[in-house]
Amino acid sequence: MANTRGAAVKYDSVQKSYDGESLVVKNLNLDIPPGEFLTMLGPSGSGKTTCLMMLAGFEPATHGEIYLNDRPINNVPPHKRGIGMVFQNYALFPHMTVAENLAFPLQVRNVGKADQEAKVKRALEMVELGAFGNRRPAQLSGGQQQRVAVARALVFDPELVLMDEPLGALDKQLREQMQYEIKHIHENLGVTVVYVTHDQTEALTMSDRVAVFNDGVIQQLSTPDDLYEDPQNSFVAQFIGENNKLDGKVVDIQGEECLVELDDGTKLKADKVNVNAVGDRTTLSLRPERVEFDTTDDMDNLVNGRIEELIYLGDHIRVRMNVAGNDEFIIKVRNRGEKRKLDVGETVRVGWALNDCKALDAAG
Amino acid sequence: MSDTTQDGQLLTTADGKPLKASLAKALRREKLRALMLIAPLLIFVLITFVAPIADMLFRSVENGIVADTLPKTVVALEAWDSTSGEAPDETVFAALYEDMVIAVDEKTHTRLGSRLNYEESGISSLFRKTGRRIKRMDEAGPFKEQFLDADKDWGTVETWQVLKRYSPRITSGYFLNSFDAQLTADGVEMKPEDERIYMFLFGRTLFLSIVITISCLLLGYPIAFLLAALPLRTSNLLMILVLLPFWTSLLVRTSAWKVLLQQQGVINDFLVWTGLISEAGRLVMINNQTGTIIAMTHILLPFMILPLYSVMKTISPTYVRAAKSLGANDWISFWRVYFPQSVPGIGAGAVLVFILSIGYYITPELVGGTSGIFISNRIAYHISSSLNWGLAAALGTLLLVAVMVLFVVYDKIVGIDNVKLG
């Protein structure tokens, strides 16, 4: 991080319940160092937005304490927290021009007129909308409104910026472009960003660390590559990226390795990640691009499968196979231009390395 | 532009007809059908709304009665100089005799008498008296003497001045009357101070309507805000309470205010019982302006709440959240972010309440006493009691114009685009 202007955030055993009967957030402990881009990722109803709203001050925590720069903020009203926020539908004030929208947080802070104008100008230039100051939000495209919303959340130099699914309303191409822009703005300013999304690609693209939420609990908190390469449980493996799952039972454990017998009797070697003892049910997780057709006899795992379907996708070919009784087994084959013939109905041998196959807790 | 002509030639359809004619023909059927659908309402509006208004506008200046009843006299009077200071000569009286004979036959002379009586009191009895004597007059003349004998008022200049002044078929008399002015021999001048009433009543109507609109806004805004902010189940219940007055008769509600507000009424009794006021100091809250304001605010409140509510419902709570996240406290986020977005609702509600109240009649009549009545009560009086329909029409026209002018002013200040009923 070039400069760390950011604030540190700490959730200390935070719980949240709306109805007094069930917990939406169950005992959340989370440390966010200054300047980090942290994404809260999870399906809807997983509690990620609630966590964000508690940090912003719009929802009170039922139990526990949230710290901003080591200062407890549970009793600080939202407008005194000094946290910038980008909302799902931008929430740009429709009766004000873009420049007035940006000047609003400065006006309420009694910033001098000249200073206001300079800051607004700088913020608009940061998002490349220098010429749009006099327009109304309704006269801007979705992507432009999005940039104004980001600029408004940053114009008063907050140390922490929250973003609540800010790209959800944009089309795919614009969304990808904005992901890079937000990432670069974060890198240049060094503020702490807490970002909420249900889009795993977005989370992987932008974040320093990702907290995967499910059922009110953080399932895993890691860097994007760790999350993909070393999922700690089958929910994370399923939620992040594409995943083949094979259900079976642990029959042998050797240090960090284990031997798993699938339900049809096939035995596979796997990395022992989330199993405890021989006899445990387990779900093996295997990324589609790690399975090889060009097998050699010294590979850790070798099985025969029948090709069910071939889907041509340009840069790669998706092969759906029936492997060990699972006919949703997907293999991605890079399109290298070589005329390797694969035919539907053909039975071929596939193989993969032990380290690419993770033995996780048994999925539902 | 270039689509309609190509190389200077009209575009045609496949069978050679001009494209425009073809299109118009194709659309005609649809337009006709659309017209048929709205026809019942259109006819209804024309008959019950546009026609009466046109009739009212006409009546406010119409004055054919003099020329119709005394045609020959009107012609003969043209030669008379009304500033001469003398009554007309024998020729005019001869014409008057001929006209009166026919008028008495048709019994139209009394109607003319009461019409002219609006302008100069005493003329009604003059015509009635003369009507009774006309049969006994000598057909050979001289007529001037005989008329003067019947009533010496025929010899005064003022009588003839009035007759001459109101002989044209179109008159500004009713409108001048509405402005507390009158037409005299010296031109238009204001009536004496103690006879002026209409301008004062217009002013009071305007003032009370503004007060009622403002109190409706002050009371309605928080309720509409609450309605829009509460969860649906609670807000539905509240909405029923807001709409409840609509289900009760207007008369019943107004009468209920009588029970509550009168000096021996519920509120005064309660205040005396609590000791806040003494038995002698009972408040006068009805049959005056206070009564009108209270009762009309209550009756018109839903018309303020409903447009406000429908606009507030569309303001996302995220805006206020956004304002707070940007550092604005509760008041600033309300005043600078929420309130400006609710202005269209205020505009709609205010226009609705104001226009309804400026023409209100029943409530001021029942609880207004003398100091709380509106111009509409005066109009009703002229229509049903004094039967001076011309004046009633002129007052009504003025009211209509006043509302329209206010509407234009409102459009200039607030902008009519800023009015949203939902």
DSSP string of A79-111, one letter each residue: GGS-EEEE-TT----TTS-HHHHHHHHHHTTT-
CB contact under 8 A, B323 and A78: no
User: Dihedral angle at the C-alpha atoms of A218, A219, A221, A224, nearest 10 degrees?
Assistant: -130
- Sequence-distant (6+) residues with CB within 8 A of A169 are A88, A89, A142, A146
- B316, B325, B418, best to mutate vs chain A, most A CBs in 10 Å: B325
* Cβ atoms A282, A260 nearer than 8 A: yes
CB proximity B332 to A under 8 Å: yes
As a whole number of angstroms, the distance between CA B351 and CA B210 comes to 10
What type of residue is A168?
G
Per-residue pLDDT at A301: 87
Confidence (pTM): 0.79
Contact A104 B321 (CB under 8 A): no
Nearest by CB: B337 against A56, A83, A93: A93
Pairing of strands B5-6, B9-10: antiparallel
> What's the confidence (pLDDT) of residue B418?
65
pLDDT of residue A16: 93
Three-state DSSP at B150 gives helix
Q: What is the pLDDT of residues B213-234, one digit of tens each?
A: 999 999 999 999 999 999 888 9
Mean pLDDT on A116-135: 90
Give B-chain residues touching A104 at CB under 8 angstroms.
Answer: 323, 326, 328, 336
Asked if A64 and A14 count as a contact pair (C-beta separation under 8 A), the reply is yes
Secondary structure of residue B272 in the 3-state scheme: helix
Report the distance separating Cα A66 and Cα A64, nearest Å: 7
Gap from B226 CA to chain A (nearest CA, Å): 19
CB B213 within 8 A of CB B221: no
- The pLDDT score that the predictor gives to residue A66 is 95
In Å, how far is B329's CA from the nearest CA of chain A? 6
Per-residue b or e along A178-214, where b marks 16 or more CB atoms closer than 10 Å to that residue's CB:
bbebbeebbeebebbbbbbbbebebbbbbbbbbbbbb
Residue B2: band (very low, low, confident or very high) from pLDDT cuts 50, 70, 90: very low
CA B90 → CA A54, A255, B44, B139, B158, distances in Å?
103, 142, 54, 13, 17
Cβ proximity of A38 and A160 under 8 Å? no
Asked if A76 is an interface residue toward chain B (Cβ–Cβ < 8 A), one would say: no
Say if B318 is an interface residue toward chain A (CB within 8 Å).
yes
CA angle, A219 as apex, A213 and A223 as ends, to 5°? Answer: 90
User: Number of CB pairs < 8 Å for A and B?
Assistant: 63
At which residue do the structure tokens 């490349």 appear? A128
Predicted confidence (pLDDT) per residue in A234-283, tens digit: 999 989 988 898 889 898 888 888 999 888 888 888 988 888 888 888 99
Are residues A214 and A42 in contact, defined by beta-carbon separation less than 8 angstroms?
Answer: yes
Q: Report residue A340's pLDDT band, with 50, 70 and 90 as the boundaries.
A: low
What's the whole-number mean pLDDT along residues B159-174? 86
CA distance A280 to chain B (A): 48
Q: If you measure CA to CA, which chain A residue comes closest to B320?
A: A91
- Asked whether the bond before B317 is cis by omega within 30 degrees of 0, the reply is no
DSSP category for residue A8: P
Q: What is the pLDDT of residues A343-364, one digit of tens each?
A: 888 888 888 988 888 988 887 6
Q: What is the pLDDT of residue B420?
A: 64
Structural domains in chain B? Answer: 5-59 (no CATH), 65-171 (no CATH), 198-418 (1.10.3720.10)
Q: What is the pLDDT of residues B182-211, one digit of tens each?
A: 877 677 888 888 888 899 999 999 999 999
**Chain A residue numbers touching B321 (CB-CB < 8 A):** 56, 58, 78, 85, 87, 91
What are the φ/ψ torsions at residue B333 (nearest 5 degrees)?
-65, -35
Q: Do B323 and A94 touch (CB under 8 A)?
A: no
C-alpha span between A149 and B338 (Å, rounded): 18
Which one-letter amino acid corresponds to residue B382?
A: H
The answer to whether A46 and A236 are in contact (CB under 8 A) is no
Contact yes or no for A127/A148 (Cβ under 8 A): yes
Report how far residue B297's alpha carbon sits from residue A4's, in angstroms, rounded to the nearest whole number: 60
- Give ipTM to 2 decimals: 0.83
Judge contact between A214 and A46, C-beta under 8 A: yes
The pLDDT of residue A101 is above 90: yes
Average confidence score pLDDT of chain A? 89
Domain boundaries, chain A: 9-234, 235-361
Query: With pLDDT > 90 as the criterion, what percentage of chain B qualifies?
Result: 31
B326 part of contact set with chain A, CB < 8 Å:
yes
- The CATH class for the domain spanning A235-361 reads mainly beta
C-beta atoms of A156 and B326 within 8 A:
yes
Question: Whose CA is closest to A87, among B55, B295, B110, B337?
Answer: B337
pLDDT of residue A103: 95
A26: pLDDT strictly greater than 50: yes
Is pLDDT larger for residue B409 or for residue A24?
A24
Closest to B327 (Cβ–Cβ): which among A82, A93, A94? Answer: A82
> Looking at residues B18-39, what average pLDDT do you find?
88
Residue B179 near residue B172 (C-beta atoms within 8 A): no
Asked if residue B9 has pLDDT above 70, the reply is: no
**What's at B142, amino acid-wise?**
P
Tell me what percent of the residues of chain A surpass a pLDDT of 90: 51
Question: What is the distance between the alpha carbons of residues B16 and A261, in angstroms, rounded to a whole number?
Answer: 82
Query: What's the mean pLDDT in A89-118?
Result: 93
Distances (CA, A) of B224 to B195, B218, B239, B306: 45, 11, 9, 7
* β pairing state of A160-164 and A192-197: parallel
pLDDT over 50 at A2, yes or no: no
Nearest to A91 among B322, B328, B332 (CB): B322
Mean pLDDT of chain B: 87
- Quick check: B277 pLDDT over 90? no
Band (pLDDT 50/70/90 cuts) for residue A4 is low
CATH numeric code, A9-234: 3.40.50.300
Q: DSSP alpha helices (H): ranges in chain A?
A: 48-56, 98-107, 113-126, 142-154, 172-189, 200-206, 224-229, 234-239
User: Which region among A296-300, B229-233, B340-344 has the lowest average model confidence (pLDDT)?
Assistant: A296-300
Higher pLDDT, B414 or B237: B237
Looking at chain B from residue 341 to 380, which residues have their Cβ under 8 Å from any Cβ of chain A? 341
